[in-house]
Amino acid sequence: MAKKQFKAESKRLLDMMIHSIYTNREIFLRELISNASDALDKRHYLSLTDSRYATNPENLKITLEIKKDTRQLIIEDTGVGMSAEELEKNLGTIARSGSAEFRKQLENNTNNVDIIGQFGVGFYSAFIVAKHVLVETKSPAEEKGYAWSSSGEDGYTITEIEKPEAGTKITIDLKDNTEEESFDEFLEEYKIRELVKKYSDYVRYPIQMEVTKSIPDPTEEGKTIDTKELVTLNSMVPLWKKPKSEVTEEEYNSFYKSKFNDWENPQKVIHYNVEGTLSYTALLFIPSRTPYNFYYQDFEAGLQLYSKGVFILDKAKDFVPDYYRFVQGIIDSDDLNLNISREILQQDRQVKLLAKSIEKKIHSALEDMLKNDRENYEKFFDNFGLNLKYGIYQDYGIHKEQLQDLILFRSSKEGKYVTLKEYTDRMVEGQNAIYYAVGSSVDEIERSPIMPKLKKKGYEVLYFLDERDEFVSGIMQNYDEKKFISISQANLDLDSEEEKKEIEEKTAENKDMLTAMKDALADKVKEVRISSRLIDDPVCIVADEGVSLDMERYMANDPMNKDRAITATKILEINPNHPIFNKLREVSTSSPDKLKEYTDVLYDQALLIEGLPIKNPVEFAKKITNLIVDAKN
């Protein structure tokens, strides 16, 4: 038969294949196995209505063969095969899809046919590694078989052949090795087994290959001989395709640990199936520990993507938002194109719909764990709560509404975790804000001079123990119409009208002393004033509106901000009920120099209590020494 030429557009695409547009050459085997699986699907379906296609289900299989001496790789199936006309139509034009056309014809009859192939493009990926491809095929409905032969750009021939069995056999003559590229790896059993396991482990039909095995030599003790054994390379039935009710906890745990290289069981399993406009199956896992590199740039998030049991992509991060990037698992959708790329994922409308659906399922699972398995949720939050908080202030807070009820804080109520809803639900009468304190530990916050007043009033205080917590409250601003207020904020507004009046009177009585203290501190503080929030301690530093003391402390401890550190506008508050207050009043009239010295010491003391650095530690130590000497005199 005369050689035929590819159509112009097909020739251009083929040229790209031959010169390898794929950086990942091994993808060709996935494509050819997927096509073989499609052909088996098609034969099974047709056999339901046409006896010519009938065969024992055990005969539906894919066989691989390596011929090292001739540098050939063979992929054979017992599927539907092709007629001469189908060969011309499906292989003569790249991107002409026999499977797609077949599925289109069946749309009005059934939705259960699992055919996903883009046959033309997938088949031509063989030319990434092949210098010549021979396709021998026979339809069960035909007497004759046909051979399609091509070396690529020079066109193809179709000839009639004798082929006893129905199905398709593809023989690939591998390209010659060059200095830049070697193709010998595709003649190695271990490599083919590896690729089948990686890409096609869950194809529903057995993928078989004769492999070399060493057995004891029956004629000579202590020696072995090599023999060939036909083995099935793939698992066939994916765990995620089984009904949830039929999968044991042990099976989930074993699958997770082997698939995702973890030695611990997952903390949460999310397994579900969605059918509709976009159908998919998901098997998701929340790890029980934080990966060692989770908060580093080299951590790769994302799910494994399959289409009809055929592996497409690893670490497909477009399916989960960044704040849920701790989730690992598998998505299998028949509605996704097998040849989808990472670039297409970002643009694909179906992918966006699927991602939104997955996000809702993860959110729902976390809500359920929070409500019904609090102990486990708190363990989860210890591992990944920081990521949820990041999600709140990421992208200027656009996700705060959906994440705010998932975050936890320690609080002054027994030091236990509390949700924002739990906090607001048990606010005492008259409380109209959410109070929080920032510190590196519960003990540090408990020692704050401001805490006793809030406890006395029965106000619960959230403990912001992570440096990012204040970013979270800053983005949120409020929850359930209750503002977040730091206990070190100047306008705490804890006083009754009677208490406010008393403070005003004491301020008026001590106006000159307070002014002198402010002058002593100069621009270190905006104001020195009588405190209504202190009970046991002599002084405290609070921040006026704007930058908080906590933010100043955070920025001061960040090496990246040393040269552009920001400072809070500070106010020094004096406890009028502390013995030191009377001492200040005494020296304010008798010894202005002493008042200045005492004021400096009290200011530095207040800074240290807040965890802020003092400007001159040596000078501070000298003043403390002088005070001790004066006390002895």
Sheet containing 461-464, strands listed edge to edge, beginning at the edge strand earlier in sequence: 417-418, 409-411, 461-464, 433-438, 482-486, 478-479
Does the pTM exceed 0.85?
A: no
Query: If you count them, how many residues does the chain have?
Result: 633
Rounded Cα distance between 171 and 134, Å, is: 5
Phi, psi of 492 (to 5 degrees): -75, -30
Three-state DSSP class for residue 102? helix
What's the rounded Cα separation, in Å, for the pair 35 and 203? 11
Cα–Cα–Cα angle for 518, 519, 525, rounded to 5 degrees: 45
d(CA 462, CA 88): 73
Q: Would you call 438 exposed, middle or buried from its count of C-beta atoms within 10 A (0-12, 13-18, 19+)?
A: buried
- Sorted by where each starts, the structural domains of the chain and their CATH numbers stand as 8-232 (3.30.565.10), 239-378 (3.30.230.80), 408-484 (3.40.50.11260), 497-632 (1.20.120.790)
Non-local (6+) Cβ contacts of 627 within 8 A are 597, 598, 601
Give the pLDDT of residue 16: 66
* Interacting residues of 65 by C-beta distance below 8 A, sequence separation 6+: 73, 74, 76, 209, 210
pLDDT at position 537, please? 94
* Per-residue tokens: 547: 């930058």
User: To 10 degrees, the CA torsion angle through 97, 103, 108, 112?
Assistant: -170
Angle at the Cα of 581 (from 578 to 585), degrees rounded to 5? 160
d(Cα 445, Cα 406) in Å, to the nearest integer?
24
Residue with tokens 């002014």: 515
- Per-residue confidence (pLDDT) for residue 191, from 0 to 100: 96
* Helical axes 497-509 vs 511-521, angle rounded to 10°: 70
What is the predicted pLDDT for the residue at 560? 63
**In terms of C-beta density within 10 A (0-12 exposed, 13-18 middle, 19 or more buried), how is residue 240 classed?**
buried
Query: Are 288 and 265 spatial neighbours (Cβ–Cβ below 8 Å)?
Result: yes
Q: Whose CA is closest to 610, among 469, 463, 448, 490?
A: 448
Query: Count of CB atoms within 10 A of residue 549's CB?
Result: 23
| pLDDT at position 11 | 67
Task: Quote the pLDDT of residue 342.
Answer: 58
Q: Is the dihedral of CA 274, 280, 281, 285 positive or negative?
A: negative
Give the SS3 label for residue 314: strand
Which of 174, 171, 220, 141 is CA-nearest to residue 71?
174
- Strand runs (DSSP E) across 217-325, as ranges? 224-232, 268-274, 280-286, 303-307, 310-316
CA atoms of 581 and 625, how far apart (whole Å)? 20
192: left (phi > 0), else alpha (psi -120 to 50), else beta?
alpha
**Dist CA 630 CA 32 (whole Å):** 93
User: Given this model, what pLDDT does residue 391 score?
Assistant: 95
Q: Which two tokens stand for residue 118?
A: 């883009």
As averages over each run of 10 residues, the pLDDT of the chain (633 residues) reads 70 65 76 92 90 93 97 97 89 53 46 35 83 96 94 88 96 93 94 93 93 83 86 90 92 88 93 90 96 84 86 86 95 75 64 91 98 97 96 91 97 93 94 93 92 92 93 94 92 87 95 96 96 94 86 72 75 95 93 93 93 89 87 63
Q: Following CA atoms 318, 319, 323, 325 in sequence, which dihedral angle do they give, to the nearest 10 degrees?
A: -90
Give the residue from 627, 453, 619 showing the smallest Cα distance to 531: 453
Report the 10 Å Cβ neighbour count for 134. 16
Neighbours of 526 (CB within 10 A): 16
The DSSP secondary structure of 493-521, one letter per residue, reads: ----HHHHHHHHHHHHHTHHHHHHHHHHH
CA atoms within 13 A on the CB side of 506: 19
Q: Which secondary-structure segment (H or E) carries 601?
A: helix 592-609
Strand duo 478-479 + 62-67: pairing? unpaired
> Which of 118, 102, 1 lies closest to 53 in space, CA to CA?
102
Strands (E) across 217-294 are located at: 224-232, 268-274, 280-286
Query: Rounded to an integer, what distance in angstroms lies between the CA atom of residue 612 and that of residue 321?
Result: 37
Residue among 176, 161, 198 nearest 70 (CA): 176
181-206 per-residue burial string, b: 16 or more CB within 10 A, e: under 16? eebeebbebeebbebbeebbbbbbbb
Dmax of the chain from CA atoms? 121
Tokens of 71: 């540098």
Cα-atom radius of gyration of the chain, to the nearest Å?
37
Distance CA 111, CA 116 (A): 12
Q: Residue 445 in contact with residue 437, Cβ under 8 Å?
A: yes
